[in-house]
Copies of this chain bind each other. A is one copy, B any other.
């Protein structure tokens, strides 16, 4: 049935429009200030219709969260694949860039996730989210272990590396938004490059980092 297909398609399309609208409004107004009614208005549908697609407002947020995490994972996966064939800094850079591409968005999702966890809504979906997030750990671990065996990285449990790196990126995201730093930071791009440079050299043993070159343009050999 073409008609049925078409219907399903339109249904999906609208679902996406709801998600897009929600994200847009969330970014514009912040987590606490977006109402279901606003989303419906923005998509130009009735409020009730939203509940044909999602059982609750939380579910919309969860979907947004999953979608974001998926795109992050996607990008990281391909970066890891590249790293295995050569430049080991690629995943680190990819990850950093993915999250810093839109720090506002990144932070929004942090807050959303936190909120959902705190209020203990949708614990099942949160579990899935975490599974997804940890799915790359194995590949990364192998990478770090190899490097450690080669004596290029300080020997610590491999998760130290990505945990620390995550923390740094997380901090960079927060820094990006901090209003108390806003006045101080004149060269934001330079600072972000500096931070990334710190990140890709974590645990690095052999070479003194960034020996002279400007870190941004030719940022050392990386996590090697």
A interface residues, Cβ below 8 angstroms from B: 29-30, 32-33, 110, 115, 117-119, 126, 129-130, 133-134, 137, 154, 156-157, 159-160, 163-164, 166-172, 174-175, 178-181, 183-187, 190-191, 194-195, 198, 202-211, 215
Contact = CB atoms under 8 A, between A and B. Distances in A.
Contact of A163 (B175, B202, B210, B211): B175
A183 B174 CA distance: 24
Given A33-B119, A202-B198, A175 B166 contact: yes
A123 to B, nearest CB: 10
Contacts of A175: 163, 166-167, 170
17 contacts: A32-B118, A33-B118, A134-B184, A137-B184, A156-B194, A160-B194, A163-B181, A163-B184, A163-B191, A164-B195, A167-B174, A168-B168, A168-B198, A170-B175, A174-B174, A198-B198, A206-B208
Contacts of A204: 208-209
A115 B32 contact: yes
Contact of A207 (B30, B183, B208): B208
B160 A190 contact: yes
Contacts of A117: 179
